[in-house]
A and B are shown apart, each in its own frame.
Chain A
Amino acid sequence: MDSITKIEEVLFIAALISYLVCSGIYIWYLISRNEKFVRVGTMLLYMGLLAQTVALGLRWYSSGHAPMSDLYESLSLFGWGIILFFLIAQHFYPVKAAGALVVPTAFLITSIAGVFYKGPEPLVPALQSYWLWIHVTIAMLSYGLFTLSFGAGFFYIVQEYLLKKNYRNVLYTFLILLSILGLALGFWAGSWWAEPAKVMDSVTQIVSNDYATSDYLKILGGGVIGLVVGCLLGFLAGKGASKPGFSSRLPSLDVLDEVSYRGIAFGFPLLTIGIITGAIWADQAWGRWWGWDPKETWSLITWLFYGAYLHTRLTMGWRGRHSAIIAVIGLIVVLFTYLGVNLFLSGLHSYAVPA
């Protein structure tokens, strides 16, 4: 068992390194359009995906359940899914340029998974059900599609400013987005750094966090560091993109608008089915469909948010920039539902192990 865990670790790190190298190659591709070099990157990406697939398979074998129970397994699976979808998309469509955004995102998510690494453990009683993989897979697919929609929406906004030759706003777009993302990731990393005391309710067995003042300071500190790093990266990326030639490297406005809409058009039904399967599972486990657990509440907020997107688009005829802005903000809501709830609020979805 121990040697299996070792092999899993080595393969996971190998996959991480390949994603890091590929991030560089794909970003370089966006700048240089060097077709030969990116082919090496694609091959390396396939190898990384294979390594992570085997790592996840070994995890499944050694823990005895699908790799979806703790944060390491869940995030690793999310990163794996993004790479898988990207490679499939790249096989059929000319979307290599999008790799400059997608591959680094997958690398970031997978490396955060590594931060939360924990040895394989059996499932807590509440999660021992075949609904686990159905519910989680569907929810993950919807998150993945919302991420795609976000990416297309963001580039829509950038492309529109580029076409209008409004380079200052291109810089601002990158600056605002990356600083918000940096702030969010910083808070998140800070809350992991804080390690608050765990308190378990003896009756419901729900684990909640008990924050001390020093914990709050650490979370705040993480947020500030994230904000500064995000600002810097945003400035660099914005400066790099604020060039007349950059517009031709991005897909056209129509394509970006359509892809952003398609992502939500397919993600929304999946989120709906994810919530319904969750309700059916909750009824089986606890005899209730809905209990206003923080994750349930936030998934409802996400659902209403994307429902509003579809209504503004289909009945009010919103298009282009307005829709793109909603799609971009949507990812922040999704990120809070997926990660924020687990770390800042307590509940049955917190992936915390009762002590």
Chain B
Amino acid sequence: MLAEKGRWSGLASIAFHLSFLFIGLGAILAGTLGFDESLDLPDGLTAPVPHSELRVTSHGFDMKTVPVKEGDRITGYRPSVYSTDLELTDGGEALARKTITVNDPLRYSASNWLLTLITSSKINFHQSSYYQSSNGYVSVLQVTYKPGKSLIYVGFGLMMAGICALYFPHRRIWVKADESGTLLLGGRTNRSKVIFQRDFDRIANELRHTLGKQEA
């Protein structure tokens, strides 16, 4: 007779290591077919989006500052928030508009959401930094296009699922009764052998205890 627990535990390790493949493939796809370019956009001007026919316009760069203090003395100012009011156009036709900040990029896709999810064909406009020129502020954008993003996320998912499942080991216990009425117990596990040993001994002891009572 066999009792077992966590039969699919062997898959956990496979899933975990398979995730490397997905992440690697996604990174290769993004690296070869995608792009990651820096774009300097002066206040109020329009610039072509790299590797495409699209154009992007800044409708204004905005910055808030906070004082930098040394004791009670103000020694300078540093930015607390900065943003660019960005508009994406295609031959004069407005496609999208958003005020982007450092952690809040503009993401645009021409196709429907399902196709976008599969091919991850989004162009992203990240607020990277800024600098001051003689004509005022210049917003620095990071324009990225990353096919293979969904593969990377599948990889992340597999990695997390696999690593959690690693802690549910595959445990098996066999019981065999022979002619003379002796019970033979055998067990096998693929992980956490010390704990299994302890549990196995406990089960064997309980069995001995209850069987002993029945006989008496």
Contact = CB atoms under 8 A, between A and B. Distances in A.
B102 A285 contact: yes
Interface stretch (B89-97, B122-130, B174-182): B122-130
A203 B140 contact: yes
A203 B102 CA distance: 14
B76 interface: yes
A248 B128 CA distance: 59
B88 interface: no
B60 to A, nearest CB: 17
Interface string A57-69: 0000000000000
A122 B80 contact: yes
Interface in A279-293: 279-280, 283-289
Contact of B156 (A203, A205, A279): A279
A300 interface: no
A128 interface: yes
A258 B194 contact: yes
Interface in B100-154: 101-105, 124, 126, 128-129, 131, 140, 142-144, 146, 149, 152
A40 interface: no
Contact of B103 (A126, A265, A353, A355): A126
B68 A286 contact: no
Contacts, number: 82
Interface residues of A, number: 36
A202 interface: yes
B140 to A, nearest CB: 7
B160 A284 contact: no
Interface stretch (A94-102, A149-157, A267-275): A267-275
B126 A125 contact: no
A287 B156 contact: no
Interface string A279-315: 1100111111100000000000000000000000010
A287 B129 contact: no
Contact of B164 (A254, A269, A355): A269
Contacts of A314: 191
Nearest to B149: A283
Contacts of B56: none
B194 A286 contact: no
B79 interface: yes
Nearest to A279: B156
Nearest to A273: B160
Interface string A125-136: 110110100000
A245 interface: no
B160 A125 contact: no
Given A125-B81, A128-B81, A269-B164, A288 B36 contact: yes
A283 B102 CA distance: 11
Interface string A226-267: 000000000000000000000000000010011000000100
Interface string B61-96: 000001011000001101111100000000000000
B36 A269 contact: no
Contact of A288 (B66, B80, B144, B156): B144
Contacts of B124: 287
Given A122-B80, A128-B81, A254 B156 contact: no
11 contacts: A128-B81, A128-B101, A131-B103, A204-B129, A258-B194, A268-B163, A269-B163, A269-B166, A269-B167, A285-B102, A354-B79
Interface of B: 27, 36, 66, 68-69, 75-76, 78-82, 101-105, 124, 126, 128-129, 131, 140, 142-144, 146, 149, 152, 156, 159-160, 163-164, 166-167, 191, 194-195
Given A125-B79, A284-B103, A354-B78, 18 more contacts: A121-B66, A124-B78, A128-B81, A203-B129, A205-B129, A269-B163, A272-B159, A272-B160, A272-B163, A273-B160, A276-B156, A280-B156, A287-B105, A287-B124, A287-B126, A354-B79, A355-B68, A355-B76
